[in-house]
Chain A
Amino acid sequence: MANDFGILSYGAYLPRRRLQRKSIAAANSWFAPGLRGLAKGERAMANWDEDAVTMAVEAARDCVSGMPPAGLEQLILASTTHPFDDRQNAAIVANALHLGSALRVLDVTGSQRAGTSALISALAGGGKSLVAAAEHRLAKAASPQEMHYGDGAAALLVGSGKPIARLIGSHSETVDFVHQFRSSERAHDYAWEERWIRDEGYLKIVPAALAALFKATGIAPAKVTHFCLPCTLPRVVPGVAKRAGIAEVAVRDNLAAVCGDTGAAHALVMLAHALAQAKPGDLIAVAAFGQGCDALLFEVTDAVATLPPRVGVDGALARRKEETNYLRFLAFNDHIALERGMRAEADKGTPLTTLYRNRDMVTGLVGGRCRNCGTLQFPRGRYCVNPECNALDSQDDQPFSEASAKVMSYTADALTYSADPPAYYGMVEFDAGGRMMADFTDVDEGKVEVGMPMRMMFRIKEHDTARGFVRYFWKAAPSV
């Protein structure tokens, strides 16, 4: 690979709510007393309006902020919880990010290695790629998975330019070692005994992959300064490091205490975290386990010091709201038969023709800017909204998704159906011009005020439960 090829940027996103594990244990330990031993720390919990697609969009926005991905050739979205089995999930992300139609997209799935496999593929391809990995993980109530899992996403921009990290080499081992599985007809994972997973799985398969990696690259494992291996089993990662010859101090925090394991996204979440903290010259080894192992070795370059700050994992962790209501978690994940009321019955349909014609507006939050008078407007009409202008077909595309805004009016509505009442919404005015009545998300009760700064976020507007469709749109969220 050329010297100017590698990871150009990184981004991360974690949902704001952090479910307290002691709340999970308090609700479930009557049934599963063993959970008490896991009742420490917190896990990232997707809001009701978040899924792998929306979280991938946020991580990707963070990744490309300040560096529009001109010349992007492909977008890969890795997840085992893609909202659609047949509809290219990556295409939704691409539309939300205004990546244009001249683009190769790929949904990668089927393994906890999906994120690293997508990254290896992008790095091997040579072109400019955006790799996003996201997971909205479901687990049965009172299961250990419910404790260990977390929701989140990471994104990496790969291509030529000023890489912050160059790939030295990668190695993949494929072994049909089934430590857990989820068939296509099931909502939840089924896992085997942890001791077997540790002894026969992680401690044998991962060191073998790392050994092959170090052998192929000629790098001494002791030189690795950051070792990223997602695993929530106790004592496994230091054990792997020891067997692989990696120094114990290089083992990175797997974020179990503050985020949980974000599945197929987690290796990239940990890599994004490492990149945010790495110094030029650092060596980052990343491994991901699941029916074998992917192992990648990166060298951090001088450019890491000049990359404009990202929100990254630390920023996402700081944007935190403690959640102690376990029932809300169950309800958000549709794990209890909540009486949602008659207002939830309204069927708004899913007219795919309408969505297609207006996909840039709805998925991309693209409005118009009048060439005649400069007025910004959302949505764009055939005639300019400025009464002094009213010019016909005078508007160029104007994306509002990155535009900062302020609250102009708002309410907290307890009447309208919301999965998380009261529904906050109001008029937001974009600082550069234009305004819209928008749903709010991630707001704190009683903390909304006129004039409050907001940013737009790509979210689930509604679930079409009659047809199993997910309707996405943009919402306003507090910008800090």
Chain B
Amino acid sequence: MATGIRDKVAILGMGCSKFGERWDRNAEDLMVEAFEECMQDAGIERKQIEAAWFGTAIEEQHVGKSGVPLAMTLRLPYIPVTRVENYCATGTEAFRGAVYAVASGAVDIALALGVEKLKDTGYGGLPQRGRGGLNNMYWANISAPGSFAQLAAAYRAKHRVDPKDLKRAMAHISVKSHDNGSLNPKAHLRNKITEDDVMNAPMIADPLGLYDCCGVSDGSACAIVTTPDIARGLGKKELVSVKAVQLAVSNGQEVQFGEWDGSYFATTRVAAGRAYKEAGIADPRKRISMFDVHDCFSVTELVTMEDLGISQEGKAIGDVLDGFYDASGKIPCQIDGGLKCFGHPIGASGLRMIYEMYLQLTGRAGERQRPDPVLGMTHNLGGFPSQNVSAITIVGRHGA
């Protein structure tokens, strides 16, 4: 009988490059930047890494396919390197591979690194991508903002929400993330904005305006994981261990069948339920200290807080406007600025979220530091509301 991975794997070290428009850097430079920080933190030598997982989503854009770019760039000593891609949940997928490798006992120390170099397209927003021969023939002409914007239409219809109230709550989410990002030296966007800025910004995909959309960034993040015993043996004292890693992937029910109404993420609800169970958490609103969720768009964050069971269904607007998720609120969300302001280099994002949880749990979050966090939860989503990959990680103090 499977027992899950709670407290079986500890984080030995983490690193994260500065995110942003890194015009002067190749993807390889960003990988090295994250890896160097991570290795210093872990305090090991390169040859101690026994396996690696490499996350990059739009690899045609920068480093190319396979595990080779990681091994070449970091000069890894002929170890197994697996390249993973799972839409925007790629970073968490890389982390999951490394965590499972250690938990299985196959290796002692494993590396997960994600990278994306998005700013080599010549235009704003995510790159245009093929979707597969047949999909190209029938999928609607969707962009990321256009697919997520539909959450708002469906949410309004379902909960009979005044469009202005929803837009105001979405604006609060973005203002909050800019406030948080302004305190993060590695964040892509560090400017503060006002709700009026958000409300009056140019429309990207109705009702998402420019400030409802996250940054499109270059960046890399990485983690080295091992067993708690080995971590202690290497001199680590305050261990951060993995409580849960869960993934739920759409199978067509939302887009083709069933009761899904377009206003929430069916996958996130399933993955969150499994993650709480794996981590032994009965009342997440009381136990989780902080969140980094996949705020690719303001409305995504809003409905996700309901899908994670923190806000009641239809009530997230109230929680958001009450400041429940602000840095000074009961459970801060996106304390590092989130995708919105830290940025969203796709392959790196899931690992970047865990990086912030790790910094907070080890008391190294600088100006953003929260008092005494115990459990941090990340939610990393890829795809579209109607068909997606929802990846959830809970990390926390070892034994908590």
Judging by beta carbons under 8 Å apart, are B140 and A425 in contact? yes
Q: When chains A and B are docked, how far (Å) is the Cα of A423 from the Cα of B143?
A: 10
Q: When chains A and B are docked, how far (Å) is the Cα of A355 from the Cα of B135?
A: 11
Of the candidate stretches A77-85, A271-279, A377-385, the one touching chain B is A377-385
Judging by beta carbons under 8 Å apart, are A354 and B137 in contact? yes
Judging by beta carbons under 8 Å apart, are A426 and B153 in contact? yes
Interface range, A side: 35 or more
Say which residue of B133, B140, B150 sits within 8 Å of A349 (CB atoms): B133
Judging by beta carbons under 8 Å apart, are A385 and B253 in contact? yes
Q: Which residue of B lies closest to A362 (CB)?
A: B137
B125: chain A residues within 8 A (beta carbon)? 415
Judging by beta carbons under 8 Å apart, are B145 and A375 in contact? no
B256: chain A residues within 8 A (beta carbon)? 377-378, 385, 434-436
Judging by beta carbons under 8 Å apart, are B204 and A358 in contact? no
Judging by beta carbons under 8 Å apart, are B157 and A413 in contact? no
The smallest beta-carbon distance between B249 and chain A, in angstroms, is 14
Judging by beta carbons under 8 Å apart, are A410 and B138 in contact? no
Of the candidate stretches A129-137, A224-232, A313-321, A339-347, the one touching chain B is A339-347
B214 at the interface (CB under 8 A from A): no
A345: chain B residues within 8 A (beta carbon)? 128
Q: When chains A and B are docked, how far (Å) is the Cα of A361 from the Cα of B133?
A: 14
Judging by beta carbons under 8 Å apart, are A411 and B137 in contact? no
Most chain A CB atoms below 10 A, which of B138, B154, B202:
B138
A461 at the interface (CB under 8 A from B): yes
Q: When chains A and B are docked, how far (Å) is the Cα of A381 from the Cα of B257?
A: 12
Q: When chains A and B are docked, how far (Å) is the Cα of A159 from the Cα of B115?
A: 65
- Proximity string of chain A (360-372) to chain B, C-beta cutoff 8 Å, 1 when within and 0 when not: 0110000000000
Say which residue of B138, B252, B255, B257 sits within 8 Å of A473 (CB atoms): B138
Say which residue of B136, B150, B257, B385 sits within 8 Å of A410 (CB atoms): B150
A211 at the interface (CB under 8 A from B): no
Judging by beta carbons under 8 Å apart, are A451 and B157 in contact? yes
Q: When chains A and B are docked, how far (Å) is the Cα of A342 from the Cα of B121?
A: 9
- Proximity string of chain A (401-438) to chain B, C-beta cutoff 8 Å, 1 when within and 0 when not: 00000001111111111100011011100000011111
Judging by beta carbons under 8 Å apart, are A411 and B386 in contact? no
B203 at the interface (CB under 8 A from A): yes
A415: chain B residues within 8 A (beta carbon)? 125, 143, 145-146, 204-205
B328 at the interface (CB under 8 A from A): no
Judging by beta carbons under 8 Å apart, are B143 and A416 in contact? yes
Near A by CB (< 8 A), chain B positions 110-164 give: 121-123, 125, 128-130, 133-134, 136-143, 145-147, 149-151, 153-154, 156-157
A37 at the interface (CB under 8 A from B): no
B203: chain A residues within 8 A (beta carbon)? 412, 414, 422
Q: When chains A and B are docked, how far (Å) is the Cα of A28 from the Cα of B186?
A: 56
Q: When chains A and B are docked, how far (Å) is the Cα of A417 from the Cα of B142?
A: 9
Q: Which residues of B contact A (CB under 8 A)?
A: 121-123, 125, 128-130, 133-134, 136-143, 145-147, 149-151, 153-154, 156-157, 202-206, 208, 251-253, 255-258, 261-263, 384-386
Could you list 8 examples of A-B contacts with CB < 8 Å?
A: A343-B128, A385-B257, A413-B141, A417-B141, A426-B153, A435-B257, A437-B147, A473-B137
